[in-house]
């Protein structure tokens, strides 16, 4: 179990890096949005890793069971909200990308900048 614990944090850090790298280095706007989604998903993983309690189950109380161990519900609540925020941002970002494509004929950042300079 302990290996899984460390591994979770490492994967979180690596996903964070991959996402941030995609956002910064990729000129394609859709790729940037996908990178952003990976970046956000990494943070979800950080929070959810926190909630695990050894031997625990999902925090849905069972009547009559007294000494059941439950995992922490708080990070779950926070991440439910964060997932919604993620999809909201993605939807708005996509709408803007579609409009950019209509106006510029491209979704590559370099090309857009070149057209604006002209």
Site for another protein in 57-116 (CB under 8 A): 57-63, 69-113, 116
Of 78, 82, 62, 81, whose CA–CA distance to 70 is shortest? 62
Over the window 19 to 48, marking each residue x when it contacts another protein by CB under 8 A and - when it does not, the resulting string is: xxxxxxxxxxxxxx-xxxxxxxx-xxxxxx
Nearest distance from residue 8's CB to another protein, in Å? 7
Instruction: Tell me: does residue 118 bind another protein (CB under 8 A).
Output: no
Beta-carbon contacts of residue 3 (< 8 Å; ≥ 6 apart): none
d(CA 97, CA 91): 10
The count of residues interacting with another protein (CB under 8 A) is 107
């Amino acid at each position: 179990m302990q290996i899984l614990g460390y591994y979770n944090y490492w994967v979180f850090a690596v996903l964070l890096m991959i996402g941030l790298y995609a956002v910064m280095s990729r000129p394609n706007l859709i790729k940037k949005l996908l990178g952003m989604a990976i970046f956000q998903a990494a943070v979800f993983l950080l929070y959810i890793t926190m909630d695990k309690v050894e031997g625990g189950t999902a925090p849905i109380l069972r009547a009559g069971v007294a000494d059941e161990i439950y995992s922490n519900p708080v990070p779950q609540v926070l991440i439910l909200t964060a997932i919604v925020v993620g999809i909201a941002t993605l939807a708005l970002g996509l709408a803007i990308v579609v409009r950019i494509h209509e106006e510029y004929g491209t979704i590559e950042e370099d090309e857009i900048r070149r057209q604006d300079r002209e």
